[in-house]
Structure 1
Amino acid sequence: MARRRQIYEGKAKVLFEGPEPGTLVQYFKDDATAFNNQKKGTITGKGVLNNRISEYLMLRLAEIGVPTHFIRRLNMREQLVREVEIIPIEVVVRNIAAGSLSKRFGIQDGTVLPRSIVEYYYKSDELGDPMVTEEHITAFGWASIQDLDEIMSLSLRVNDYLSGLFLGIGLKLVDFKLEFGRVYDDQTDEMTLVLADEISPDNCRLWDVKTNDRLDKDRFRRDMGGVEEAYQEVARRLGILPEGGPRDMPGPSTVQ
């Protein structure tokens, strides 16, 4: 069987055409980037762990009625997803001050925010993913007011659910990034919004409840060491650490 055609390669994943129309194969890489692609490296086994973690979280969210692009996991590094028209906006939900929020407003890392804050960023590495407002989003036609209302509602719902889920395994959900896309719905004959991309320690800040140890990509950003172990610990607490550890296929050339 011939290799499938590559559709897109991002910083952490590669997308290939899927076996059926309207589907894609999403391959998780071990590559790691930070600071808008200025810092690059490799986290051994990250792709395997993120595939499993994102699968688990997407399935749990689907159970509470959050529509996602996820269909099923194919193997240790790949999952079948619906092909979506990605909205070029990153939605960041913040519960605790950290990262750029702390720098912008001089708030000490770890300060619990009065309420969850939702921010929007335009997806553009060249421009440094600038923060944008609803006015920018609607004026430039990236999404409608109705889209934004739904995105806000779904983002807060995801936050409520994941905050509780992670708290149950001894982790604080400090902040996280979501992406959404549009997909054609045969039943309604309309385009509908779905949660896309992934949810993993790559795009969530997760701190241990007791020690505030960081179990996410901040360990890579800050050269703290123990990055692989942090990702493994998240998977272990979720009960999905692959048997024998995160070992599997060597790279995208295995996609069939």
Structure 2
Amino acid sequence: MELLFSGKTKDVYALEDGNYMLKFKDDVTGEDGVFDPGANTVGLTIEGAGQAGLKLTKFFFETLKEKGVPTHYIDANVEETTMTVVPATVFGEGLEVICRYRAVGSFLRRYGKYAKEGQDLNAFVEVTLKDDERQDPPISEDALQMLGILTNEEYGTLKTLTQKISHIVKSELAKKNIELYDIKLEFGRDANNQIVLIDEISGGNMRAYKDGKYIEPLQLEKMMTAK
């Protein structure tokens, strides 16, 4: 295996068969020791976070596969905290696509003059550039097209896929009486230039609440995978 990239929450390796392997870490994003899925820095290390993140990711990616949603997922080994995926290239140097059902986090920080905390949002889709130096600035469809990051048609596909995937995740959480407030997704192009969901779907990239109380990532995994 060849280490291609060491990220905040996982490492990426190239396998001999041409596929990639993601190794999940126990590091999670946040600030001052407090978890925040939208943060640009590793805020804390939680023992078991990598395994919990992969277990939930495996569950959601396999659910998406059953529903015919294109992803990079091949399989996962929860014990070894590894996931095998097909190679995919990101848009520009990486985009994050957020689907919001309630006003919390950075949305509330930016638009708090008009939005109330917890206010209903109708699966609002927002795209940000992965750029730690500039704190992941939001970017519009027109700017993405003008800067050559993606076409208007690709943006439409990205938005449609984001809302479809988010709705599936929201529905699965609702089966456990858990409400999805927002979720952060990443996409890339596979070898056939098809837009596919990449990275992970876990408590580390969403905000979920039960009875109005926020659920920590490890607790979310336990609640979702409990029989």
Alignment of 1:1-256 (within 5 A): 4-21=1-18, 23-34=19-30, 36-38=39-41, 40-76=43-79, 77-87=81-91, 88-106=94-112, 107-113=115-121, 115-185=122-192, 191-208=193-210, 210=211, 212-215=212-215, 230-239=216-225
**CA offset at residue 239 of structure 1?**
2.1
C-alpha distance in 2 between matches for 1:16 and 1:102:
37
Could you say what the CA RMSD is over the residues aligned between the two structures, in angstroms? Answer: 1.6
Q: Give the structure-1-normalised TM-score.
A: 0.80
SS of the aligned residue for 2:213 comes to: coil
Which structure has the bigger radius of gyration? 1
C-alpha distance in 1 between matches for 2:226 and 2:61:
14
Q: Output one character per residue of 1:181-215: Cα deviation in whole Å (capped at 9) or x when no partner.
A: 00123xxxxx111000111111100001x2x2211
Q: Give the structure-2-normalised TM-score.
A: 0.89
Q: Output one character per residue of 1:137-184: Cα deviation in whole Å (capped at 9) or x when no partner.
A: 111111111111111111111122111111111111100111100012
Q: Which runs of 5+ in 1 are unaligned?
A: 186-190, 216-229, 242-256
Q: Which runs of 5+ in 2 are unaligned?
A: 32-38
Aligned structure 1 segments of 4 or more residues deviating by more than 6 angstroms:
none
Q: Output one character per residue of 1:43-65: Cα deviation in whole Å (capped at 9) or x when no partner.
A: 11100000110011011011111
Q: Output one character per residue of 1:76-119: Cα deviation in whole Å (capped at 9) or x when no partner.
A: 21010111001221111000110111122223322222x22110
Contact 2:203-2:221 within 8 A present in 1 as well: no
C-alpha distance in 2 between matches for 1:39 and 1:47:
13
**CA offset at residue 126 of structure 1?**
1.4
**CA offset at residue 19 of structure 1?**
3.6
Aligned match of 1:224: none
**CA offset at residue 233 of structure 1?**
2.6
